[in-house]
Amino acid sequence: MNKKIEKLLNDQIEKEYSSSQLYLSMASWSENQGFNGTASFLYAHSDEEREHMLKLVKFINERGGTAVIPAIYKPDVSFDSMESIFQSLLDHEVKVTESINNIVDACLSEKDYTTHNFIQWYVSEQLEEEALARNIMDKLKLIGSDKGGLYLFDRDMQNSNITAATPN
């Protein structure tokens, strides 16, 4: 495996793991605030990010590289509001997208078409992740500080009624 690509993929493992930890922290805060629907959504999102990490670990190892398992990341445990949680989530996903795009660029410049093909799944996933986060932020901006609206929002999160916008 190309060492430059291997390093970038290992860096991405750390980012996916950090995402999982961040969303786990957000889920715990939400649960403690009585937002059980949002907590369920974020717990599931945390698990999904861990799966993204494992997919990278297996890919690197299968290609003859060495996957590096990162140290435990300790995210913030306190948040100001539901809106601040999801703004942080959106900001984080934008950074992850940038990282994925850097891997794509490196794959093309190094002519590593196998990894380029593999990473396309992450490109598509990031489109969905960002669209979902923006959709949620739009809903929270509409709600503002209305407690009844937050109650309904939380219930929607529990019922998975909030989905990513379909790209054109």
In a 10 Å sphere around its CB, with 0-12 CB exposed, 13-18 middle and 19+ buried, how is residue 151 labelled?
Answer: middle
Sign of the C-alpha dihedral, residues 138, 77, 91, 128?
A: negative
Q: Is 14 annotated as a binding residue?
A: no
129 in a known ligand binding site = no
Distance CA 37, CA 159 (A): 8
Residue 100 and residue 97: Cα distance in Å, rounded?
5
| Rounded Cα gap, residues 95 and 149, in angstroms | 29
- 110 annotated binding-site participant: no
Burial 80-114 (b: 16+ CB within 10 A, else e): eebbebbbbbbebbeebbebbeebbebbeeeebee
Known binding residues are 16, 49, 52, 93, 126
Which amino acids are annotated as binding site for Fe cation, given as ranges?
16, 49, 52, 93, 126
